[in-house]
Structures are given as structure tokens and as C-alpha cells.
């Protein structure tokens, strides 16, 4: 057993089974052994490669969107350009470089803020973004941001926020819990009594026994918090992640290590633990806060913003090897069998702000 497995096993022995949300939180954020404390998540040598780590073109397209958002808001100065969950800082680096080139006036009006909970990644981000000067601010929670018009980007942040899982059985839902097997291993079990839930996307009676559904109060709360800020101060947010646009059923909890899927209970703290994002739930939270929203696949989003044209220009004076790499990057970011369809882009904005290429429903 690893140190964190032992710690969780002790907790379960003393207090009884813990829910999936608590398990995810311990695995990711335990102050001694949590994933973000100990792991090297990003890149080819790490556990996974995100879109901004794949190619600079991703950040360039997001920058084009951010400039359009700022213009649509009426060029506020100053405004808050914020990234939540910035990882190695690569996306913000590409965004700032591109905005500086395409829209210096927008760049000059931007007060840059990064929302990050990991001290280690914060240090990496500061190092990476040093060259963009001193108008950068780091906070641990979204609520600490100053009240200003906002353009916010979050790529692969919501998938790491914890979820609860419920299992249908005999017309009722029982929370899925983490317990200890007779052999002393972490295992899934069912809560002892039916879950009392006010809001669920589906009725248990319509589902086959054993079907898992997932909800995430943490994700809905963050979407609501961002949207409340947008409705009050004006602005737009772009939330990018893997998941479904329509409510879906099924167990999507996943552990990723060195680019392959692993058993989520096998090595807490050692693997990246995530689940698919329910974009419909995030959109509902945005509407409750008085915002508009629209969504599309990442492939559609990038193509409509001009990914192919940008790739053409980028490859124009490069050699064949580089050009093949650019083609492969486009395929990875927007190809339907790669990130293009699985990843979705949700745009949330205050009602007065229009946001091409999105159309409000």
C-alpha cells in the first residue's frame, strides 16, 4: 500500500466509507501525498498532454476569442483577463503573446489574474510568465478576484473538481462510496440508505439497476460564482473540457498515468483523477445567475475561429517535418477521433454581450 492508501484506509476504518467526492479530494489535494503535491502531470514525460501543451495554435485561437469578447463588452479598461487552473502557464503565455501582437490596446487594458490552488504549479507559472511584466496577480480562489469586467478561460479545470456518484438500485439511488475490502484493499461499495437528493437529472426508476449517475456541486458552484461575477461586472467565460453537452448516465471517473487509464482506487495521489464534465449542469448554474450560455465541440470552435488558416500561415515557411507536425497538431486539437468531439467549449456571458462564434439559445 502507498502512504496515501494507508492514510485513507485508516480514515475508512475509523469513520466508515467515504464518498467519491472526498476520495477525489484526498487523492488530488492531500497536503502530504496528493497528486498536485507530488506528481509531474504535464507533457510527454508526464501523465497527460493538454491542448495548450500540444500546440501554440490552441492559445492563439483562445486569444482571438478573448479579443472579440473584450470588444463585444465595449473595450473596458481596465478589465480582468483571468485563467483558472493554469497548469504550467503555457496557455496564458500564448494568449498574452498573441493579444500583445494582434491587439496592443486590449493587452494594455488587461489586468492578468491566475486562479491556482497548487503552490508548486504557482511557482512554475510565475517563472513562465515572468516576461509579461508585473501586472500579474495570483489568487487561490475565484472569489478573491477584484470586481472588474472579466474575460475568463478555464481549460481542463472542471474535470478535476470532485463529483458524487449514485448507483440506481430497485428504483432508488444509493451513493457510491469507497470502503475497505475484506482483504484490506480500497473498493467501491454502496451507501447503506437511499440518497435524499433534491435535484437529480433523472429518476432512478427509469434506469437499469447498477447504472451510475454523477453530480458535482463543486463544479456547479464554481460555474455559478463565475456567472454571478459576469452578470454583475459584465464579461464572458470560456470553459473547455471533456464531457457531454446533454445530461448523460454512466461511470466516468478515471485515473490517468503516463497516458494510459488506470484503476482509480489503485494509487491515490499517484494518478490524475478526473471525470467527464456535465456541461448542461454548468449552463443551468449560469442561467440561474442571470447569464446566457452556448456550447459547441472543440473542433467546431477552433475551426470557426480560423485554426486551418493559422496552421497554413504557421507552416508556410517551415520545412516538411515541421509542416507534418503542424498537420498532426491540427488533427489532435480538432480531429473528431481525437480532441475535436470529446472536448466541448461552453461560453457564458452577461446578457448584453454577444460572443461569436457562439449564438445564444
Residue 278, classed as helix, strand or coil, is strand
- Please report whether residue 160 would count as binding ligand SAH according to CB under 6 A: yes
CB of 248 to ligand SAH, least distance (A): 22
Contact between residue 323 and residue 292 where contact means Cβ atoms under 8 Å apart: no
Q: How many Cβ atoms sit within 10 Å of the Cβ of residue 51?
A: 24
Choice from 34, 86, 162, 340 touching ligand SAH (CB under 6 A): 86
155 makes contact with ligand SAH (CB under 6 A): yes
Angle at 131 (CA atoms; ends 129, 137), nearest 5 degrees: 45
**To the nearest whole angstrom, how small is the minimum distance from the Cβ of residue 48 to ligand SAH?**
8
Under a CB-based contact definition with an 8 Å cutoff, are residues 156 and 62 in contact? Answer: no
Q: Is the dihedral of CA 155, 160, 162, 165 positive or negative?
A: positive
**Residue 97 exposed, middle or buried by CB count within 10 Å (0-12, 13-18, 19+):** middle
Question: At its nearest, how many Å lie between ligand SAH and the CB of residue 46?
Answer: 10
Question: Which residue number, 36 or 70, has a Cβ lying nearer to ligand SAH?
Answer: 36
CB of 24 to ligand SAH, least distance (A): 10
DSSP class per residue in 222-263: HHHHHHHHHHHH-EEEEEEEEEESS---S---EEEETTEEE-
Rounded distance between C-alpha atoms, residue 32 and residue 12, angstroms: 18
Q: Which residues contact 244 (CB under 8 A, 6 or more apart)?
A: 276, 277, 278, 279, 280, 344
Contact region for ligand SAH (CB under 6 A) — 10-18, 155-163, 313-321, 325-333? 155-163
Using the rule CB under 6 A, which residue among 27, 63, 68, 91 binds ligand SAH? 91
> Does residue number 298 form part of the binding site for ligand SAH (CB under 6 A)?
no
Q: Which region, judged by CB under 6 A, interacts with ligand SAH, from 112-120, 285-293, 322-330, 337-345? A: 112-120
Q: Is 118 in the site for ligand SAH (CB under 6 A)?
A: yes
Convert residues 29-58 into a mask of x (bound to ligand SAH by CB under 6 A) and - (unbound). -------x-------------x-xx-----
Q: Establish how many alpha carbons lie within 13 A of residue 200's alpha carbon, considering only the half-sphere containing its beta carbon.
A: 23
In the complex, the smallest distance separating the C-beta of residue 242 from ligand SAH, rounded to whole angstroms, is 12
Q: Is 225 in the site for ligand SAH (CB under 6 A)?
A: no
The region of 153-161, 196-204, 250-258, 291-299 touching ligand SAH under the rule CB under 6 A is 153-161
Hey, what's the cell of 87?
497548469
- Distance of closest approach, residue 50 Cβ to ligand SAH, in angstroms: 3
**Judged by CB under 6 A, which stretch of 16-24, 80-88, 127-135, 306-314 contacts ligand SAH?**
80-88
| Using rule CB under 6 A, residue 167 touches ligand SAH | no
Q: Which is nearer to ligand SAH, 115 or 236 (CB)?
A: 115
Q: Is the dihedral of CA 216, 356, 101, 144 positive or negative?
A: negative
Q: Is the separation of the CB atoms in 88 and 118 below 8 Å?
A: no
Residues 6+ apart with CB under 8 A from 131: none
Shortest reach from residue 95's CB to ligand SAH, in Å? 11
Question: Does the protein bind ligand SAH through residue 163 (CB under 6 A)?
Answer: no
Mapping DSSP to helix (H, G, I), strand (E, B) and coil, where does residue 172 land?
Answer: strand
Only one of the segments 110-118, 275-283, 297-305, 306-314 lies at the binding site for ligand SAH (rule: CB under 6 A); that segment is 110-118
Q: What is the contact surface with ligand SAH in residues (CB under 6 A)?
A: 36, 50, 52-53, 84-87, 91, 115-118, 121, 155-157, 160
Amino acid at each position: 500500500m502507498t502512504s496515501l492508501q494507508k492514510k485513507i484506509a485508516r480514515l475508512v476504518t475509523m469513520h466508515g466509507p467515504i464518498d467519491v467526492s472526498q476520495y477525489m479530494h484526498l487523492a488530488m489535494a492531500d497536503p502530504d501525498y496528493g497528486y498536485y503535491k507530488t506528481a509531474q502531470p504535464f507533457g510527454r514525460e508526464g501523465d497527460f498532454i493538454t491542448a495548450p501543451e500540444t500546440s501554440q495554435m490552441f492559445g492563439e485561437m483562445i486569444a482571438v476569442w478573448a479579443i472579440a469578447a473584450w470588444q463585444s463588452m465595449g473595450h473596458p479598461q481596465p478589465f480582468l483577463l483571468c485563467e483558472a487552473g493554469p497548469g504550467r502557464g503555457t496557455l496564458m503565455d500564448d494568449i498574452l503573446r498573441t493579444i500583445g501582437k494582434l491587439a496592443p490596446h486590449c493587452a494594455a487594458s488587461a489586468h492578468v489574474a491566475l486562479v491556482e490552488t497548487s503552490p508548486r504549479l504557482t511557482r512554475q507559472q510565475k517563472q513562465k510568465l515572468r516576461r509579461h511584466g508585473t501586472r500579474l496577480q495570483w489568487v487561490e480562489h475565484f472569489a478573491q478576484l477584484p470586481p472588474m469586467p472579466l474575460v475568463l478561460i478555464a481549460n481542463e479545470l472542471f474535470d478535476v473538481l470532485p463529483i458524487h456518484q449514485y448507483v440506481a438500485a430497485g428504483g432508488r439511488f444509493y451513493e457510491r462510496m469507497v470502503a475497505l475490502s475484506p482483504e484490506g484493499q480500497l473498493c467501491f461499495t454502496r451507501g447503506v440508505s437511499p440518497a435524499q437528493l433534491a435535484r437529480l437529472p433523472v429518476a432512478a426508476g427509469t434506469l437499469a439497476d447498477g447504472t451510475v449517475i454523477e453530480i458535482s456541486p463543486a463544479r456547479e458552484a464554481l460555474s455559478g460564482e463565475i456567472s454571478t461575477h459576469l452578470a454583475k461586472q459584465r464579461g464572458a467565460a470560456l470553459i473547455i473540457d471533456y464531457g457531454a453537452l446533454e445530461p448523460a448516465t454512466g461511470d466516468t471517473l478515471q485515473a490517468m498515468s503516463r497516458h494510459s487509464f488506470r484503476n482509480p482506487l489503485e494509487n491515490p495521489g499517484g494518478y490524475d483523477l478526473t471525470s467527464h464534465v456535465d456541461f448542461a449542469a454548468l449552463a443551468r448554474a449560469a442561467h440561474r445567475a442571470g447569464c446566457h450560455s452556448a456550447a459547441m465541440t472543440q473542433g467546431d470552435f477552433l475551426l470557426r475561429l480560423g485554426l486551418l488558416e493559422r496552421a497554413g500561415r504557421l507552416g508556410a515557411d517551415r520545412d516538411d517535418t515541421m509542416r507534418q507536425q503542424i498537420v498532426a497538431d491540427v488533427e489532435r486539437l480538432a480531429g473528431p477521433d481525437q480532441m475535436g468531439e470529446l472536448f466541448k467549449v461552453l461560453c457564458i456571458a452577461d446578457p448584453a454581450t454577444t460572443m461569436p462564434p457562439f449564438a445564444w439559445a
